[in-house]
């Protein structure tokens, strides 16, 4: 049994019924759960989810109302356990951004990894493996690879 942190993009695709990746995201998560893996989220996921969900469509958001976004977040919170925010997360994050020279928007990705490190989680399910590929000691898993592995 492996513990996974769900990437925010996976949560967004699972929630956005119009996304071409909706089925892949949902099936990958369901497959991992059936295989007795545990899937976790963190408050960072929820914050990033809110940003994208409420951002207008013309600037790469979903354009959802606050009410719809809140309802989707409630579903996510009921479906997946949320990792506790601990004081160690900040020190892990500061070490990551310094060690890997992470700048700009990628600092949010580093915070997800910091949460993983603080909770001894090694696997991340994400549609954006390139955002994490230069960080050591984590296993990046694309949802499509979960589905392909079950077809063998």
- Name the residue among 112, 125, 136 with its Cα closest to residue 2: 125
Task: Read off the CATH number of the domain in which 114 is found.
Answer: 3.40.50.1010
Predicted local confidence at residue 151, as pLDDT: 72
Predicted local confidence at residue 152, as pLDDT: 60
Answer yes or no: is 152 within a domain.
no
Full domain range(s) for residue 71: 3-145
Residue with tokens 């994208």: 52
Predicted local confidence at residue 150, as pLDDT: 81
Answer yes or no: is 151 within a domain.
no
Predicted local confidence at residue 149, as pLDDT: 87
* Structural domain count, the chain: 1
Q: Give this prediction's pTM.
A: 0.95
Q: pLDDT truncated to tens, each residue of the chain (152 aa)?
A: 999 999 999 999 999 999 999 999 999 999 999 999 999 999 999 999 999 999 999 999 999 999 999 999 999 999 999 999 999 999 999 999 999 999 999 999 999 999 999 999 999 999 999 999 899 999 999 999 999 988 76
Answer yes or no: is 137 within a domain.
yes
Residue with tokens 């592995």: 149
Q: CA–CA separation, 96 vs 23, rounded Å? A: 33
3-state secondary structure 28-64: HHHHHHHCCCEEEECHHHHHHHHHHHHCCHHHCCCCC
Residues in contact with 144: Cβ distance below 8 Å, sequence separation at least 6, in sequence order: 24, 28
């Amino acid at each position: 049994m492996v513990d996974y942190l769900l990437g925010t993009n996976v949560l967004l695709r699972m929630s956005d019924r119009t996304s071409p990746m909706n089925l892949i995201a949902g099936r990958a998560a369901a497959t991992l759960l059936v295989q007795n893996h545990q899937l976790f989220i963190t408050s960072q996921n929820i914050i990033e989810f809110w940003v994208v969900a409420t951002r207008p469509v013309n600037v790469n958001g979903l354009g959802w109302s606050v009410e719809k976004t809140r309802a989707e977040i409630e579903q996510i919170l009921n479906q997946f356990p949320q990792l506790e925010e601990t004081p160690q997360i900040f020190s892990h994050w500061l070490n990551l951004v310094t060690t890997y020279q992470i700048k700009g928007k990628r600092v949010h990705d580093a915070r997800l990894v910091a949460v993983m490190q603080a909770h001894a989680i090694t696997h991340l399910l994400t549609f954006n493996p390139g955002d994490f590929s230069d960080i050591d000691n984590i296993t990046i898993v694309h949802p499509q690879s979960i589905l392909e592995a079950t077809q063998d």
